[in-house]
């Protein structure tokens, strides 16, 4: 891969007869230069400068290559590209590097740092040269040898047969992550990055990894959002993570892994409020992607939730409570959970749980009161009385006029409505007459009869009681 990058850089530098002083500046803008290891850049720089072997009279002075390659401001302590090369001792013990690269490093060090050379290094040089003669070298080393006398001997080595590229096999299951989890996202991109062979794509991947590690917003360029083949899974992940349209990337991914694409499509739909198969989404599995689908499925729970057991619904509540801005879903699900408890014969447990809750004026009074009536518990009714001041007038009228409400509860609701004196009271005041009479709320009863000319005629007995 490094040799391929070097070949691309040489093509940029020498294809159009670019002036020598402009070569490095032009090459430095290329993705291949940016992705190349620094030690390989050093070898390439020597070729771009077409360096000659220094004469003997220069041995005791600062080497000419150093002077040519350094572009320092006055007083700068910057390093030259030669400083990127490993030492001769390091390269002879590095069996992971190619023979051609190791020989190039040794030859450069030998000719530019002559005082550091030893007999042991000469033996190592000869052995590595023999390997190059036997196995051959990549053709880019011929180009390097033609550009700099320091490495001219590479021209005499046979060109090795080009090995067919074998991409490192990466399982797409690596992509089954919660794309909104920064740590999972960073690990997945790192593992999947080998699917991108192009230098520009590798540079873009590095920028994404930097954004992830510093917890910045993901800003993926078109080169990473339009990948093909297996690499399209990277496009899918980045598009979803950054809130962009992922449909084209999902279509491309389906060509490689239809099932994985379907799972990501389900996540995208759930994020957008569309539920395809709610039960399937909440029971997908335990990998990161499945957990993300489960989270968004609970945020969009359907009537299917009523078929679950109380313990399963409670698990959904606990999950929702970990999600910001999910208070509405949590509250609605709590009533369903309590109804499930009551329906399963655990009315006492439901009542004990209900009295720990606090109400607000956003409550679905119909669902709440259906549960209260179902439980038929004095403790629940006392709790509800203590919560009446948190309800709006519509909810108070609903309770006061509900056929299952106790007389005491109706009385409390009508008293609050009368004290508020709003529109709801005007519309329900006549219904309060019988309740106030039975509870001997005579002052309140008299106030109704005094302010309503028709009420005394329709309620003669209550009128007589109030004037007694």
Contacts of 89 (CB under 8 A, 6+ apart): 121
pTM tops 0.85:
no
237-270: pLDDT as tens digits: 999 999 999 999 999 999 999 999 999 999 999 9
- Cα separation, 106 vs 261, whole angstroms: 50
CA angle at residue 387 from 385 to 393, to 5 degrees? 95
Long-range contacts of 313-316, Cβ-Cβ distance < 8 Å, separation of 24 or more: 313/337, 313/340, 316/282
> How far is it, in rounded angstroms, from Cα 433 to Cα 449?
8
pLDDT band at 283 (very low <50, low <70, confident <90, very high): very high
pLDDT digits (tens, 9 = 90+) for 69-119: 444 444 444 567 788 899 999 999 888 899 999 999 999 999 987 677 888
Domain regions of the chain by residue span:
1-52+82-156, 173-299, 323-389, 391-467
- The helix (H) or strand (E) run that includes residue 377 is none
Q: Is the pLDDT of residue 336 over 70?
A: yes
Average the pLDDT over 383-391 and give the result. Answer: 93
pLDDT level of residue 455 (50, 70, 90 thresholds): low
Name the residue among 49, 52, 38 with its Cα closest to residue 14.
49
């Amino acid at each position: 891969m490094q040799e391929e990058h070097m070949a691309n850089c040489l093509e940029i530098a020498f294809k159009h007869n670019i002036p020598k002083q402009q070569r490095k500046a032009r090459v430095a803008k290329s993705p291949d230069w940016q992705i190349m290891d620094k030690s390989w850049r050093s070898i390439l720089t020597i070729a771009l400068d077409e360096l000659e072997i220094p004469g003997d009279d220069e041995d005791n002075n600062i080497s000419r290559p150093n002077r040519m390659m350094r572009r320092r401001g006055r007083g700068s302590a910057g390093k030259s590209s030669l400083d990127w090369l490993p030492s001769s001792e390091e390269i002879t013990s590095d069996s992971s590097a190619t023979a051609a690269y190791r020989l190039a490093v040794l030859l450069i060090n030998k000719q530019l740092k002559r005082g550091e050379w030893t007999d042991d290094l000469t033996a190592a040089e000869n052995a590595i040269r023999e390997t190059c003669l036997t196995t051959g070298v990549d053709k880019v080393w011929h180009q390097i040898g033609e550009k700099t006398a320091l490495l001219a001997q590479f021209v005499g080595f046979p060109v090795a047969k080009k090995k067919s590229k074998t991409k490192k096999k990466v399982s797409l299951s690596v992509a089954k992550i919660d794309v909104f989890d920064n740590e999972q996202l960073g690990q997945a991109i790192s593992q999947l990055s080998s699917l991108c062979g192009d230098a520009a794509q590798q540079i873009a991947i590095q920028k994404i990894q930097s954004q992830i590690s510093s917890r910045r917003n993901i800003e993926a360029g078109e080169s990473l959002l339009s990948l093909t083949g297996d690499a399209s899974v990277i496009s899918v992940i980045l598009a979803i993570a950054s809130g962009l349209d992922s449909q084209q990337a999902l279509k491309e991914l389906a060509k490689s892994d239809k099932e994985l694409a379907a799972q990501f499509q389900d996540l995208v739909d759930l994020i957008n409020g569309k539920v395809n198969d709610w039960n399937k989404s909440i029971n997908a599995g335990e990998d990161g992607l499945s957990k993300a689908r489960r989270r968004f499925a609970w945020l969009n729970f359907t009537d299917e939730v009523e078929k679950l057991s109380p313990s399963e619904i409670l698990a959904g509540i606990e999950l929702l409570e970990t999600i910001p801005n999910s208070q509405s879903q949590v509250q609605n699900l709590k009533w369903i959970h309590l109804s499930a408890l009551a329906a399963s014969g655990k009315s006492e447990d439901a009542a004990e749980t209900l009295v720990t809750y606090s109400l607000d004026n956003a409550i679905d009074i119909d669902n709440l009161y259906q549960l209260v009536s179902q439980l038929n518990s004095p403790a629940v009714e006392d709790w509800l009385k203590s919560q009446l001041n948190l309800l709006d007038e519509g909810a108070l009228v609903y309770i006061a006029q509900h056929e299952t409400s106790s007389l005491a509860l109706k009385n409390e609701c009508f008293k609050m409505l009368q004290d508020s004196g709003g529109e709801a009271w005007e519309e329900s005041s006549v219904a309060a007459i019988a309740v106030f009479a039975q509870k001997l709320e005579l002052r309140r009863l008299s106030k109704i009869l005094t302010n309503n000319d028709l009420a005394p005629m329709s309620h003669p007995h209550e009128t007589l009681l109030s004037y007694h």
